[in-house]
Structure 1
């Protein structure tokens, strides 16, 4: 497998030299400064690629191998009039990336919000900090801070009572922090915590859009993209919805093994692949991650190797656990990925993996970091995964 590391560009607190020291060889990155829906120009791709791959004499070489992500415009997800122009732009960006030799593209089809956590600095018994999703806090936000129209229809009476108690116990500062944490997953101009009206408007756009409709819109998008990806030799790797279930009145369509089976059954193109985000899928107890790694192994081009621990009394709540100490049998997941690489043969491209959502720990505590993307926690995770790969490769696959 190819050890990769997500890098957010020149302003990332984790430098390319830091990544070299971690031992990763491949970079996962994107042109974050280009607004969603616009074409990524070849010149901009080449400049970003050169900033990654040009190293001083004697430095370890890095390679930009995976894009995460080319954002999919909301008009495509909603199939609004004129959305085909945004599809054309997405295809043009893909073509320009392929021209520059970058042929693995992670993307998602999550409406409005890319990911959701209620706590960005959840204190662990070790003293380190993790990302956390707390269902009761989330319901309190939805019902009593956002005050989403008809939100109460999505909750039981008991859940509403618990959410109200949670809300009532919060200070104004805690309510503000919760709002900022949840809206941290919003794209573009809605990242300011006070823009709740923008958030409500974005959610209102999806009234009347159910799972079947959103899935049809995904399939329509891919029906145009996949034939071109095949010709270019590009592998698309869809990321699951995070958390993988309907929320905020929004439908979610990439949540379970059954969702993937339906996607690949309807669109069997060899370019149609997946990102195995172990932690995201693992936040649902009905997803068997080792089995998914085996069942969908030919479709896996990229993997986020992280795990979560779900609350015993509320399985929808979880925190980002250590990479090898979670509810997921990570060793078996890695075993199945290695077995797939062996099946593909030496001449086939390797599966790109990266550590994800590491703990903020040791000297990183107190530093400004991208939530979940501090250096030391991911270094620890990568070292653990590397040890598993090495042990399995020597003892079982040699």
Structure 2
């Protein structure tokens, strides 16, 4: 695996110097300041390459921009409304500009409205650190009592809805605002956020879009861009839904093994692949992560290795971001499957036998607690996770003691 690190640009509190010292050899980044639907220009792409390749003192960092995360798919594309065709053309131009700069892997997602969802971005841990958490009762309190979505109560069990009512009754105005901000903050690094009225507006338009229709819109998008992807030598990899179950009555189409099989089979191309996020997929207890890696391995183009701890066995339930080796996912078993896949690729002579991986998310510990970095992306917490993952990888790749 090529060990990479997500960087949000010059305003990221984790610097290029920090990434170099953490031991990563590649960078995952995006042009977060470019509005969705607009072209990423060669000038802006070149600027980001230059920023990644330069330390604070002006000397070369030795780091390269290896993966784009994310090239956003606009809501117009997902809904097939408004300027959706123009947005697809802009997406294709951005792909071409990225390919000409040397980028080969582009991560994106097809989640409607909310790109990822957490109810608490700094949940207190017993050891004094903090992490991100999704709490189903807090989310229900937002959905039923703050957003006031019609029919929301029917989407939760009686026990969850009752608990949501009790929690909402105990919230002051600031707590309600903070919960709303946590849920609607958008993609990590994004400058675009939504008001409650924005969310309500999107939801009203999705009333007419079933999961089957959204999946077809996704297939239509892929059929439009994959021929260009193949010509450019790129690899696309869709990130799973986060969390991997329906929220706000919205359709979800990338939450399970069956979802990925449907999309990968519908647009059969080595260029149409998967971002294997063990945290997103692992939040759902019926996802078999080592098995999914084994079955989809040849189409996995990017790895997010992180862990979550679930509160129970419900498909739509609460969880928090655990230590990388400390959650419900058997990370050793998963990495063993990744190592086997890389060995198969190398034996087959595949150029992409080394899959880019980044330690996804991390708990805020030590000086992270004072930095207040991008939620989920602390420097020390991720460095700890990378060190743990590197130890497992090194052992499993060992010539004598590793996996065959």
State if a TM-score over 0.5 links the two structures: yes
Q: Deviations over 1:63-87 (max 9, x none)?
A: 0000001101111100115411110
1:27 corresponds to: 27
2:146 corresponds to: 145
**Partner SS, residue 357 of structure 1:** coil
2:91 corresponds to: 90
Alignment of 1:75-154 (within 5 A): 75-154=76-155
2:351 corresponds to: 348
Structure 1 residues 39 and 118 mapped into 2: Cα distance closer, same or farther (>3 Å)? Answer: same
2:68 corresponds to: 67
CA distance in 2, matches of 1:299, 1:241: 18
CA distance in 2, matches of 1:189, 1:237: 23
Structure 1 unmatched runs, 5+: none
1:396 corresponds to: 402
CA distance in 2, matches of 1:47, 1:157: 53
Aligned: 1:384 with 2:388: yes
Structure 1 residues 75 and 347 mapped into 2: Cα distance closer, same or farther (>3 Å)? Answer: closer
CA distance in 1, matches of 2:383, 2:54: 23
**Partner SS, residue 13 of structure 1:** coil
Q: Deviations over 1:146-201 (max 9, x none)?
A: 11122223223333222111211233332222111111236967626xx2112211
| Corresponding residue pairs, total | 396
CA distance in 2, matches of 1:277, 1:385: 14
CA distance in 2, matches of 1:4, 1:223: 30
**Partner SS, residue 141 of structure 1:** helix
1:230, distance to aligned residue in structure 2 (A): 0.7
**Partner SS, residue 275 of structure 2:** strand
Aligned: 1:364 with 2:368: yes
1:373 corresponds to: 377
**Partner SS, residue 28 of structure 1:** strand
CA distance in 1, matches of 2:252, 2:314: 20
Structure 1 residues 72 and 396 mapped into 2: Cα distance closer, same or farther (>3 Å)? Answer: same
Structure 2 unmatched runs, 5+: none
1:314, distance to aligned residue in structure 2 (A): 5.4
**Partner SS, residue 68 of structure 2:** strand
**Partner SS, residue 191 of structure 1:** coil
**Partner SS, residue 296 of structure 1:** helix
2:309 corresponds to: 309
CA distance in 1, matches of 2:259, 2:350: 31
Verify the 8 A CA contact 2:33 2:191 in the aligned structure 1: no
1:59, distance to aligned residue in structure 2 (A): 5.4
Structure 1 residues 171 and 241 mapped into 2: Cα distance closer, same or farther (>3 Å)? Answer: same
Alignment of 1:214-229 (within 5 A): 214-229=214-229
CA distance in 1, matches of 2:62, 2:161: 54
CA distance in 2, matches of 1:269, 1:18: 37
Verify the 8 A CA contact 1:183 1:190 in the aligned structure 2: no
